[in-house]
Amino acid sequence: MINRGRVVIAAAFGALGLGFLGYYFYASLDIPQLEKVQLDLTSVKVVEVNTIDNRANLEIRFLVTNPSEKTATISNINYELFVNGMDVGNGEYSTADISLPGRALIYPGNSIELTDVFNLVYTDQIADEYFAITNEEQVSYFAKGNISVESAWSIVEKEFESSLG
């Protein structure tokens, strides 16, 4: 004989499992749309040069374009910056500590510009590049790294590469 209480509990767990599967399926529908988001390096500008500590702050601007049909936001951009082919360091733009409603939204078919401050530190290995940047000479920039694109339900990490100059 089947116990009625066990049937009710089994049915409740079955419905809960189907609910989780439905949520997972619904959340995964955003992933192909989020993968369409593109990131481009648009400008690098010297903001401050500290000649005592041999450091310079650079303003790095990224243009994030959302050609998809979903509103997205960027929680993190980790990147390596190259100047004239030489790796000059790593940078990070992060809004991970800001809740989703407080972040800059990238609406479908629109673009936004995100700004990061990159701390360039003089070393003997990058001396030529450091002085070219701080003297505001013509140089070529290249950035590569990972970007975290989020919607209300999903997150996608994708690689990017972009050059300037």
Name all domains of the chain by residue range, CATH numbers in brackets.
32-164 (2.60.40.1820)
Check whether 1 has a pLDDT greater than 70: no
**pLDDT tens column, 45-70:** 999 999 999 999 999 999 999 999 99
pTM of the predicted protein model: 0.82
Q: Where are the beta strands (DSSP E) in the chain?
A: 38-50, 55-66, 72-83, 86-94, 105-106, 110-121, 141-150, 155-164
